Chains A and B, each alone.
Chain A
Amino acid sequence: MSRLFEAQDVTVAYGKIEAVRGVSLAVEPGRVVTVLGANGAGKTTLLNALMGVLPARGAIRFDGRDLARLPVEERVAAGLSLIPERRELFATMSVEDNLRLGAFRFRGRPQEGGSLEAMFALFPRLKERRRQLAGTLSGGERQMLAMARALMGRPRLLMLDEPSLGLAPLIVAEVMRTVADLRGQGVAVLLVEQNARAALQVADYGYVMDGGSVVLEGESRALQADKRVVETYLGVLAADTEPARGVG
């Protein structure tokens, strides 16, 4: 199988403390791969390192090219995109400007980037809000804008850090549907979630992290049936986090 994206033995440290230890994973085109794990497992740290936001040891290969030493913007140019946990929208700029900036890497050849029309078709709410400042959107609308802004850059690998965080169940379902649809467009997806139930429903393959390492991996179906996953993540977590999360 062709490996679009591959991380090998990635280790990330904050000072002396290793928050991610020797993680290896792979994502193929048109597949959704999820990384599950409790709060503090190291998921955000891992994604930030893969994107170049944090320095890491280990190999990171994309389309046969070694990205490990490239800065964030070079990885963006190569076709990686990260929707971070905190979204990092341009709060004092309009929804439309946020979207246009999503296609910044195609400046000078805008026909190659995503189009506003396509994003508005995908998320009609954003069309109604196009002149509004991003900072005034609701939590769900913010997540939609973050996704649309990332898609404007036509990524070949989209990494999402807890897109369901703080969202109402209906919106989580919409976000997950959008993720699943990316598969048909040949985009590879790396989906980090605490909401294991929702993530395993859309993912083809999954990794489970604990204490900075991958402790379990397998096809989604197998993970959904795995006793350890059910007990640790599907039973407790799903039951206890979902109702507690309001719309942020």
Chain B
Amino acid sequence: MDATILMLLLQDGVVNGAIYALIALSLVLVFTVTRVILIPQGEFVAFGALTLAAFEAGTVPGTVPLLLALGAAACAADLVEARHALDARRILRIALRDLVLPGAVAALAYALGPGKPTLALGIALTLAIVTPMGAYLHSIAFRPLEKASVLVLLVAAVGVHLALTGLGLVFFGAEGSRTPPLSDAMLPAGPLSVSGQSLWMIGLTLAIIVALWAFFGLTLLGKALMATAVNRLGARLMGIGPGMAGRLSFSVAAFIGALSGVLVAPLTTIYYDTGFLIGLKGFVAAIIGGLASYPAAAAAAVLVGIIESVAAFEASAFKEVIVFMAIIPVLLWRSARADPVEDEE
């Protein structure tokens, strides 16, 4: 391997690592706020990519009826949840969130989808379709388990993952899709050239990191999420409901997932079940960060991306094996350092 190839692999690794970093950040966010290990994060990625691909093909994506169905189910779940405190205002709020919002998004998708919207409009619609799904899934599958253990929540997460993968197959079929790159530009950089797409990926990842930082550091809502992560009971006593915190963190995760899907779709063919492997690599990075530290998770994600691209070059058949084996020494190191009694909050 000469220096140019190494540079090339590093570049590749950083670009992939950016996607893993986005996923790792959402996993950390969701876990710290809700204690859910969000296995279905990868499905948001796949749904994002496939939804955009459907718009690019001039069709209405299958995620649109799925959004309506999830909204209706979430509406029922939210009404049951709030049954002891239902008044007109609350019913209106739930209906707006779970029925009117997805209805409006669906109407736009049906109106604009068949006419093959521009790439920017397609991306905006894609994000609008996938983002609320996060909140709905939380209301349907996780809010009712609010008092359950991390293990039960993990099982529920696996269940949601399997259900969404199945629905992905139903709505998108078994064929894969690719979308055009966000930019065709190729910029020379010494012996290498950097694609406009890579710059978009790294730039948007940095933008998301800055936006998350601003959200947590500057807004009361962001601080409320952080407070829930720091002290669940303390947050409830301030009126920060776990339902609100869960819906919000799941929506942020779904948004970041869909955006990641939009970003990777031009690089690799995405199938209905591709998300899982991408999500798993983000998960490896999040675990290295202890599912708690955002900077550690982001740094680990870039490392995972680099290990992956070097492994793909040196021993492509064992690429995934090498990536997932890399987690073992990290786990050993973490558990050797860990406080033996840290399992209860």
Complexed CA–CA distance, A90 and B222 (Å):
14
Complexed CA–CA distance, A20 and B84 (Å):
24
Complexed CA–CA distance, A223 and B238 (Å):
34
Near A by CB (< 8 A), chain B positions 212-231 give 220-221, 223-224, 226-227, 230-231
How far apart are B42's CB and chain A's nearest CB, in angstroms? 30
Residues on A with C-beta less than 8 A from B334 are none
Docked-complex contact A84 and B237, CB < 8 angstroms:
yes
Complexed CA–CA distance, A79 and B234 (Å):
16
Near A by CB (< 8 A), chain B positions 194-236 give 220-221, 223-224, 226-227, 230-231, 233-236
Complexed CA–CA distance, A90 and B236 (Å):
12
Complexed CA–CA distance, A88 and B230 (Å):
10
Nearest CB in chain B to that of A81: its residue: B237
Docked-complex contact B220 and A76, CB < 8 angstroms:
no
Docked-complex contact A149 and B238, CB < 8 angstroms:
yes
Docked-complex contact B224 and A76, CB < 8 angstroms:
no
Docked-complex contact A88 and B84, CB < 8 angstroms:
no
Q: Is A189 an interface residue when CB atoms closer than 8 A count as contact?
A: no
Complexed CA–CA distance, A89 and B231 (Å):
7
Q: Is A21 an interface residue when CB atoms closer than 8 A count as contact?
A: no
- Chain A window 16-57, contacts with chain B (Cβ cutoff 8 Å), 1 for yes, 0 for no: 000000000000000000000000000000000001010000
Complexed CA–CA distance, A105 and B230 (Å):
18
How far apart are A23's CB and chain B's nearest CB, in angstroms? 21
- Chain A window 64-84, contacts with chain B (Cβ cutoff 8 Å), 1 for yes, 0 for no: 000001111110110001101
Residues on A with C-beta less than 8 A from B239 are 73, 76-77, 104-105, 153
For the complex of A and B, 10 pairs with smallest distance between CB atoms: A88-B234, A76-B239, A105-B239, A73-B241, A69-B84, A72-B236, A90-B230, A73-B239, A104-B238, A90-B227
Complexed CA–CA distance, A88 and B237 (Å):
9
Docked-complex contact B230 and A101, CB < 8 angstroms:
no
A–B pairs, 22, beta carbons within 8 Å: A70-B84, A71-B236, A72-B237, A73-B240, A77-B239, A81-B237, A84-B237, A88-B233, A89-B231, A90-B226, A90-B227, A90-B230, A91-B230, A93-B230, A100-B220, A101-B240, A104-B224, A104-B238, A104-B239, A104-B240, A105-B238, A149-B238
A residues apposed to B, CB below 8 Å:
51, 53, 69-74, 76-77, 81-82, 84, 88-93, 97, 100-102, 104-105, 107, 149, 153
Docked-complex contact A91 and B240, CB < 8 angstroms:
no
Residues on A with C-beta less than 8 A from B221 are 107
Complexed CA–CA distance, A90 and B241 (Å):
15
Complexed CA–CA distance, A77 and B237 (Å):
10
Q: Interface size of B by Cβ–Cβ distance < 8 Å?
A: 19
In the complex with contacts A74-B85, A93-B226, A102-B231 CB distance below 8 A: no
Residues on B with C-beta less than 8 A from A88 are 231, 233-234, 237
Residues on B with C-beta less than 8 A from A81 are 237
Nearest CB in chain B to that of A53: its residue: B233
How far apart are A151's CB and chain B's nearest CB, in angstroms? 12
Docked-complex contact A76 and B238, CB < 8 angstroms:
yes
Docked-complex contact A101 and B237, CB < 8 angstroms:
no
Among A69, A76, A104: residue with most chain B CB under 10 A: A104
Residues on B with C-beta less than 8 A from A77 are 239
Docked-complex contact A90 and B231, CB < 8 angstroms:
yes
Residues on A with C-beta less than 8 A from B240 are 73, 101, 104
